[in-house]
Amino acid sequence: MKIFSAKQMQKADHATMQNQQLTSLELMERAATQVFNIIHNKLNGAAVPIHIFCGIGNNGGDGLVVSRLLITHGYHVKTYIVNFSENRSKNFLANYDRLKETTNEWPIQLKSEEDFPEIEPQSIVIDAIFGIGLNRPLVPWVAQSIKRLNTLRCFTLSIDIPSGLYTNKVPEDAEAVIFADITVTFQLPKLIFFLPQTGNYTRDVQVIDIGLDRNFIVNESGVGELIGPYEAVSLYKNRAKFSHKGTYGHCLLIGGSYGKIGSVVLATKAALRTGAGLASTYVPECGYSILQTALPEAMVITDDNEDLIEEITFDYEPTAIGIGMGIGTHEKTIKAFESFLNTNTHPLVIDADGLNILAKNPKLLKKLAPETILTPHPKELERLIREWDDDFEKIEKVKSFSKENNCIVIIKGANSMVIYNDQLFVNNNGNPGMATAGSGDVLSGIITGLLSQGYTPLHAAIFGVYLHGSAGDLVAQKNGFEALIASDIIDHIGNAFLELFKNSKNVDKNQ
Ligand SMILES: NC(=O)C1=CN([C@@H]2O[C@H](COP(=O)(O)OP(=O)(O)OC[C@H]3O[C@@H](n4cnc5c(N)ncnc54)[C@H](O)[C@@H]3O)[C@@H](O)[C@H]2O)[C@@H](O)CC1
Ligand SMILES: [K+]
C-alpha cells in the first residue's frame, strides 16, 4: 500500500472531486461517515459520554460530521471547538451550521486553557483538532490543552492523525501531541505511523477506504510503500515441478570467529529454510565440527586460521553470498574482507561486523558489488552514515548513501525500512520479541537464501524482511515475546511462506 505525503493526499482529494463530480463537503461527509460507522459499530448505542474536540480546519470539519451523526443516533455527545485561529475553513463552517440545526446543545467554544472542560475518566475522547494541515508550532494554550487531554487517560480516537503531529517532521514539544488509542486514517497510511520518533503516538491505526480516485493513487509514486501480505505474495517466486537443487542456487555464508560460530549456523540454516538449493559456509577452523554437527545439510570450507578468518578463498561460484555475522574486526580479518570485496561480483549481503569494518574503512564502500544489501541496526547505521537530527533526516541521509554507493540499505528495528536510491519500503510486521540474539543473523540468512534463488536484490531485501517479521509473529502468537529465540524464527520460516497464501485474499484496493 502506498504512503502519501500531505500534499499528495490533497492532490488525491482534488482528483477525486473532479473525477467523481463531488464537492469537498460531500467528500468530507463520506469520509467522516466512515469514521462514525467505526465508532457506532463498536459502541452499538452504549450510553458512554463522548467528548469531541474539533479544530477549525477540515479535520475539525470531520469531527463536526461525526458529532452530528452520533447525536442523531442518540449518543451522549459534547462538542468543543478549539479556536486556535480565526480562519475557519469553509467546510468547517458548513458543518458547524448543520450541527447547530441538529441539536440545541451547541458546541462549546475553547479560547484559553481556563476553558478546558471537566471530563469523566470513563468518557471517550475524539480528537479532530489538527489533521495533516498542521504546519507551524501550536500556540501555548492549545499545546497545554492537548497535554491536559492526555492526562485524562480516556479512550481516545484520533481522526486522520493524532493532533500535534506534523507529517514531515517531529513535533517541537513531544508532549504536546495527542496519545491516541486508535487513529482512523483516510485512504492510505502516513509515514509518521512507522517512525520510532512519531509512531508511538497511536497504539493502533485503521486505514479506511474513503473512495479516493484510484487512477490518481495508482499513477502517483508515494513517499514510500507499506509492505503487507498483498505486496509480499506478489514477490513470491513459484518453485517449478521439474526443478532440482541446482535451480535454487548454491549460497555461501562467510563469517564466525572463536565463540561466535553460532551466528553462521543460524544464517546458514535460515538460508536453507528459505529455499536455497545448496549452502556452504566459510568459517575459521574452529567452526568445522560445530557446523558439521549443528547443520548436516551445509558444506563447510575452513580458513587456515583456527580462531578467525584471515583469507577468504573458495573454489566455486556461489549464487549469492552473506558475509559479516560473527566475523569480528581483527586486522587480519579486515584485510581478508577487503581483498574479498576487491574481487567479488556475486550478489551480496553484508551484516554485523562486516558493516563495522565498512564504517571504519569507508573507502571499501566503493568496492561493493552493485546493489549489495547492507543490514544495519540503528547503531551500525550511525557508524556508517554518522548522526542524524531526526527520523526524517535519517531517511534522507540513507537515500543519499544508497545512491552514492549503489547499495540497498535495510534499517532494522520495529518497522524495518528498505531503502534503495529514492525508494522507501516500510515493513510493519514483526514484534519486540525479535529483539534477541541472532535475530539479525537469521535475517541475513533469509535474504541470502532468496538471492540464491534468483530474487533481485531489492525484492530479496523487501521479501526477506517481510518473511522474517512474519515468522517472528507466528512464534510470538504461540510463545509470547520473552521466550522467542532466533532459532524459533528459523523454525517458522516455512509457516511464514504458507501464511502468504492464507492472506492472499487480503487485497489492497488501491492497486
Ligand atoms: N483525502 C483526505 O485526506 C481528506 C481529508 N479530510 C480532512 O482534512 C484534514 C486536513 O484539513 P486542513 O488542511 O484544513 O488542515 P487541518 O484541519 O489539519 O488544520 C487546520 C488548519 O489550521 C492551520 N494551521 C496549521 N497549523 C496551525 C497552528 N499550529 N496553529 C494554528 N493554525 C494552524 C492550517 O492553515 C490548517 O489548514 C485531514 O487531516 C482530514 O481530516 C477530510 O475531510 C476529507 C478527505
Ligand atoms: K486529529
CA of 105 to the centre of ligand 1 (A): 25
Does residue 203 sit in the same domain as residue 298? no
- CB distance 323 to 350 below 8 Å: yes
142 assigned to some structural domain: yes
Q: Is the pLDDT of residue 336 over 80?
A: yes
Q: Is the pLDDT of residue 246 over 80?
A: no
The ligand minimizing its distance to the Cα of 35 is: 1
The predicted pLDDT at position 503 comes to: 61
Q: Residues 57-64: what's their mean pLDDT?
A: 98
The predicted pLDDT at position 509 comes to: 56
Question: Does the model's ipTM exceed the 0.90 cut?
Answer: yes
Does residue 68 sit in the same domain as residue 149? yes
Distance between CA 159 and CA 290 in Å, rounded? 55
175 assigned to some structural domain: yes
Percent of the chain with pLDDT over 90: 96
Does residue 270 sit in the same domain as residue 170? no
The ligand minimizing its distance to the Cα of 127 is: 2
Does residue 275 sit in the same domain as residue 153? no
The predicted pLDDT at position 504 comes to: 56
CATH value at residue 80: 3.40.50.10260
Does residue 157 sit in the same domain as residue 263? no
CA of 416 to the centre of ligand 1 (A): 29
CA 406 to chain centre: 22
Q: Say what the alpha-carbon torsion angle 183, 187, 190, 193 is, to the nearest 10 degrees.
A: 30
The pLDDT tens digits for 190-220 are 999 999 999 999 999 999 999 999 999 999 9
Q: Is the CB of 132 under 6 A from ligand 1?
A: yes
- CB distance 3 to 225 below 8 Å: yes
Q: Residues 108-115: what's their mean pLDDT?
A: 96
- 178 or 509, which is more confident? 178
CATH value at residue 371: 3.40.1190.20
- CB distance 282 to 291 below 8 Å: no
Q: Is the CB of 62 under 6 A from ligand 1?
A: yes
Nearest CA to ligand 1 atom 1: 13
The pLDDT tens digits for 129-184 are 999 999 999 999 999 999 999 999 999 999 999 999 999 999 999 999 999 999 99
Domain count for the chain, please give it.
Answer: 2
Does residue 252 sit in the same domain as residue 205? no
Distance between CA 25 and CA 128 in Å, rounded? 16
Q: Give me the chain's average pLDDT, please.
A: 96
Does residue 145 sit in the same domain as residue 70? yes
Q: Is the CB of 351 under 6 A from ligand 1?
A: no
Locate 454 and state its grid cell: 534468483
Q: Which domain holds residue 124?
A: 2-222
Q: Residues 16-33: what's their mean pLDDT?
A: 97
59 assigned to some structural domain: yes
